[in-house]
Amino acid sequence: MQLISLLLIGFSLFTAILLFIGNLLQQSGPQQLSSKLAGFVLVSCLAGIQWLNLQFILASPVQVFSPLYIALLYCIAPSFYFYSRQLLTAEIQFSRWQIFHAVPLFFFWLIPTQWALPLVFLIGSGYLLWLARAVYFLRKQRQRFKLEILALAGFFTIAVGVILLGFIWPLVSETTFILSYSILIGLAFFAAVLTLLSFPSITVDVAEAAQVAYAESTLKNIDRNKAVAQLNQLMEQEKLYTLESLSLTMLAKQLELNSHQLSELINTEFQQGFSKYIRQYRVKAAKKLLLNEPESSVLSIGLSVGFSTQSNFYTAFREIVGTAPGQYRKQFPK
């Protein structure tokens, strides 16, 4: 158990560095700056706890449940909430009541350690219930990302394990608690990496689903059939998806709609968000070119259908087809 814990702690610390670098290099995304900042805090707290767990396992002179350790614990649930609230609820504006999420962080040091630790996991239970409610509210959109929902279920299961560990803390030794907790955090990092590799657009897809689930209809005075017909013409005949710079706003102007109307139209009529809608058209076109133009390189085909980089093309192709473009071509030799 100790060896597994050490391996997962090392993996967690290395992954935390990669996540930091990835977020710094990311030029755009569906999240507000406040959500990204909360993400940095969340990863920092988890990495900090793993570092303190490592010191304990290596028998360094460190107090296992020091004020720093407990402070990091109290930061995890609120930072996760602020990181995911926009993605899961389409809520952007902050209210004055949000400040109460930080109250436990400022008063935990007044509570004896034997009560401070169970309390933090009790608070975490409340956030876990919020997470369950938020994901449940998106149930009508689940057909759009069934596999992604399984990934979220994995995170939820790990979170439940953490909460249960917190409640049975008085019944186990400090060593058992530290080893178990470090393993669960390591599994959370592993699940995060696996999810991002398998579904790199998961944040975009979930955010778009949340916008549809919570927003009021903007298509009350729109001829939906006409708009869909025009959209199909732009995609299938004029092939606007091949434009690398194609955006929701640009396409909406072509249809004389605003971006909110077009987003809702795509979500309701095609059961997917704008990003995935465009990716599917590009991959569909790439599949034809891969077979009809065997002399063309895979990269040139990806760029010709609208992908900006080879990485984006390979990721989208694997997501939709289930295999790499080159492997797909080899399955149908001429």
Positions of the chain with pLDDT under 70: 23-33, 60-64, 89-95, 138-149, 201, 208-218, 333-334
Same domain, 38 and 172: yes
How many C-beta atoms surround the C-beta of residue 99 within 10 A?
9
Check residue 166 and give its pLDDT: 80
Q: How many domains does the chain have?
A: 2
Smallest CA-to-CA distance from 291 within 316, 239, 326, 244 is with 326
Whole-angstrom distance, CA of residue 271 vs CA of residue 261: 15
Length of the chain measured in residues: 334
Check residue 120 and give its pLDDT: 84
Q: End of a domain among 209, 241, 274?
A: 209
pLDDT digits (tens, 9 = 90+) for 196-235: 777 776 777 777 666 666 555 667 778 888 889 999 999 9
Check residue 71 and give its pLDDT: 87
Same domain, 225 and 192: no
- For residue 32, what are the domain limits? 2-209
How many C-beta atoms surround the C-beta of residue 238 within 10 A?
11
Same domain, 119 and 166: yes
246 part of a folded domain: yes
How many C-beta atoms surround the C-beta of residue 204 within 10 A?
18
Which string of DSSP letters, residue by residue, matches 156-167?
A: HHHHHHHHHHHH
Classify 142 as helix, strand or coil.
Answer: helix
Same domain, 26 and 172: yes
317 part of a folded domain: yes
Whole-angstrom distance, CA of residue 297 vs CA of residue 90: 41
Spell out the residues 6+ positions from residue 229 whose beta carbon is closer than 8 angstroms to its own.
Answer: none
